[in-house]
Amino acid sequence: MLKKFIIGIFKPKFLFRYIVKSKAKSCKGKLSVNGFSTVNNNTHLGYNVNFNGMKITGKGRCTIGDNFHSGTNCQIMTDYHNYENGTKIPYDNTVIVKDVLIKDNVWLGNNVIVLPGVEIGEGSVIQAGSVVVKDIPALSVAGGHPAKVFKMRDIEQYNKLKDQKQFF
C-alpha cells in the first residue's frame, strides 16, 4: 500500500534511481533506472549505467563498468549458501561470498542471471534468459543455460565506435 502511494506521488524512474543511488557504495554518475531495481551495499556503478529491473544481492562486491545496460528482471548474485561444508542439510546459515565484475559496455538481455564469482568482459552481450555461471571473455556474444560464447563481436567496428565515443 505504501509503495503504491509513493509511486503515485513520484515518477517511478526517479524513485527507482533514488533507491539504487542511496544503497550503492559508489556511482560515477548518469544512472538511469527505468524499472524497480535494488542493489546490495557493496555495489560499485560506473558512468552511464542503465537498469530496467535489476536485483543485486549478496554480501560480495559487485562492480559494473561504464555504459552498462540491462533488460528487465535481471539478477546478479554475490554469494550462495554453504551446501558442501555446512553443519546442516541441505545447507546452513553460512554463505560463500564471491565478487562479480562486469566490465565496460556490457549488455544483459531480459531475465539474465549472473552467479557469484563471474567476470563478464568488456563489450560482451548476454542473450535474454541466460544463466552466466563462468567468466565470459571480452567482446563475446553468449547465451543459454549455462551461458556459452557462440559468437564474437567485430573488434574493428567495436573499437571504431568506442574511439568515437558512440555510447547509448
Active-site position among 44, 69, 81, 145: 81
The partner residues of 80 in beta bridges, in order of sequence, read 96
Side-by-side strand order, sheet with 131-132 = 54-57, 74-77, 113-114, 131-132
Question: Which has the closest alpha carbon to 123: 110, 112, 136?
Answer: 136
Is there a catalytic annotation at residue 81? Answer: yes
- Give the chain's length: 168
Catalytic residues: 81
